[in-house]
Structure 1
Amino acid sequence: TDIRDVKLATTAMKKIFQPIRDLCQLLKKHHVTPWGLVELEQAPPKWDEVVRLGYSEKEKILPLQSEEVLKIRNQIDNFAEELRLFCQEFRQECPFHAKNAISGEYDKSYLTMNDYYERCLKIRAKANDFNDLELLFDMQMSNYRELRECIDELVLLKNLWDGVVLVKCVFESWDDILWDKIDTESLLLTARDIQTQVKNMPKGVRAWPVYRWLQDEVKNMSTVLPLVNDLHGETM
């Protein structure tokens, strides 16, 4: 890991050396000699020595590297298969469907999403470990795009379910309004505002059944409210 750390730090260290040199020159120009000035001046050559030692150590382990790379490659291939199966399960089991929305069992959806979020974090940590090994052994870096897609979809799905719960809570609260207290114009404005918000949700959610269900719920409410308004006007 020391060799890896040197490799990771090389670019950043090169960028800060010139500002260090400029600072030293500026301090000398103004006859300022704070504690640590000598160490600042010596930092660039000392770092060069660290890099040299790092490459020297790397050459020593080179005969073992090919064998270790093969082992790591096999581990990464196995992990890639595990990730493929996980992503397949993720899309089958996560609440992209509307079943829990229809039944009102919202907690089931959130429990499932929380479970897969925790699993995604563990898998991402493992992926990061493999990336570190790839960097250390100069291997081609794996990007694990499928994992990023699962995490992105999970964020979108959670936000969508937040919308489902909010809309249902609003609509259900209207059930408690007494007939002579109904302000249909206000309800219509709210329904249209909700419809606009649902329509403007990210494109990534629009193919999911639960989104289409939510869209239909809002559309149906927007259709029913004008009828309620007509009936309400006739009875008032």
Structure 2
Amino acid sequence: MTVIRDVRKKMESVPELFGPQKECVQILRRYGVDVLNDEVAGKKLQDFLEEIPLAWDAVVKKTFERRKISCQCKWQLHDSFSKKLDEIEVQVDQFRELEDLFELQPTAYVEIGETRSEVKQLTLLWEFKQSVDDVFQSWRKELWADVNTVDLEDKNKQLRKKLKEKGNAYPAMKGWQVYRDIDESLAVMATVLPLVHDLHSESIRSRHWAALARVCNVKAVDPTDPQFTLDDMLMLQLHRHKEGIEEIAETATKELKIENKLSEIEGVWAAMELDYAAHKNTDMHLPRPSEEVWKAWKLIRWSCRAFTEWENLWNISRIALCNGKVI
């Protein structure tokens, strides 16, 4: 469990080291120091820099596979304690018979009853944890194109409500690590699902996926792949990059509105017709805008002015986002 804890704490900080490492190598090469052929951990530096992000991803994946095994071990440990408690309760019954036989004051054995109660509560909580893990695992297998975040959010809210009810019914549960683990996983999912909903929008384009990859410190994100699943998206640890992802989604939504407005303008002008009138001094015919064209032109002129202002604001935002490594 300590390994799982340590890896979880490093999941955000370690990937942030990969970029500076490459930048350092580029700076050295710029000043004539070529280190690409140097060896690190028995490999050339170039190969090492390319493979280390994949190696870290493999460590994370393997760690959380071990977490599943740890859960199974906890069940085995739980069962062994439960059996020992059964044996102790049999001995308690025997002691009570002896106390009755020798007319002794009966012993309450309060600890045995409290322990049995806690074991039952722990069983209830571990069964609930197992059901939550099974639900989340089934979600992770869903293809990205089939994800329905509304249904998932509703289900997650129901699970959080059930956990809260258990905590209210048995207050001692709230102090147990397993309760805190369940609460944390449900809280993370409650944060992630709205982000998944935003990223599932039709406004997201390839440039936005590239921005997401930079925010999450990965090489690329390709949800257009037919085999791309929700698990692939959750592996990006979206809850750790909430602000950056919300910024990307907001930008994509604004850009889509602009695209739709431009398409609307193109459609209006494509349907416009100009009248032609003969010039009074020549035989030439000159275009004469109709009243509809004049109205459309005034509207477009106002829109162009607004678009120019938006573009200036966008450029300022883009510079800020570049400095923040969002775009």
TM value normalised by structure 2: 0.40
Name the CA distance, whole Å, in 2 between partners of 1:198 and 1:166.
12
Per-residue CA distance 1:160-189 (angstroms, 9 max, x = gap): 111111101111111111111111100000
Q: Does 1:112 align with 2:80?
A: no
Name the CA distance, whole Å, in 2 between partners of 1:176 and 1:113.
29
Residue of structure 2 aligned with 1:199, choices 156, 161, 164: 164
Secondary structure of the corresponding residue to residue 217 of structure 1: helix
Contact 1:187 1:225 survives alignment (8 Å) = yes
Contact 1:191 1:222 survives alignment (8 Å) = yes
Q: Tell me the residue number matched to 2:67.
A: 103
Q: Which amino acid aligns with 1:226?
A: P
Name the CA distance, whole Å, in 2 between partners of 1:181 and 1:235.
16
Deviation at 1:204, TM superposition (A): 2.7
The answer to which structure has the higher helix fraction is 1
Name the CA distance, whole Å, in 2 between partners of 1:181 and 1:126.
57
Runs of 4+ off more than 2 Å = none
Contact 1:101 1:164 survives alignment (8 Å) = no
Deviation at 1:235, TM superposition (A): 3.7
Residue of structure 2 aligned with 1:177, choices 113, 122, 142: 142
Q: Does 1:210 align with 2:178?
A: yes
Deviation at 1:149, TM superposition (A): 1.2
Deviation at 1:117, TM superposition (A): 1.0
Shifted more, 185-194 versus 202-211: the winner is 202-211
Contact 1:135 1:141 survives alignment (8 Å) = yes
RMSD (Å), alpha carbons: 2.1
Contact 1:156 1:204 survives alignment (8 Å) = no
Q: Tell me the residue number matched to 1:168.
A: 133
Q: Which amino acid aligns with 2:67?
A: S
Contact 1:195 1:218 survives alignment (8 Å) = yes
Q: What percentage of aligned pairs have identical amino acids?
A: 28
Q: Does 1:146 align with 2:114?
A: no
Q: Does 1:124 align with 2:92?
A: no
Name the CA distance, whole Å, in 1 between partners of 2:173 and 2:66.
18
Q: Tell me the residue number matched to 1:70.
A: none
Q: Which amino acid aligns with 1:222?
A: A
Q: Tell me the residue number matched to 1:159.
A: 124
Name the CA distance, whole Å, in 1 between partners of 2:132 and 2:193.
15
Q: Tell me the residue number matched to 1:219.
A: 187
Name the CA distance, whole Å, in 2 between partners of 1:145 and 1:101.
40
Deviation at 1:109, TM superposition (A): 1.2
Rg comparison, structure with higher value = 2
Secondary structure of the corresponding residue to residue 107 of structure 2: coil
Query: Where in structure 2 are there 5+ consecutive unaligned residues?
Result: 1-63, 206-327
Name the CA distance, whole Å, in 2 between partners of 1:222 and 1:158.
25
Query: Where in structure 1 are there 5+ consecutive unaligned residues?
Result: 1-99
Name the CA distance, whole Å, in 2 between partners of 1:183 and 1:109.
33
Q: How many residues align?
A: 138
TM value normalised by structure 1: 0.55
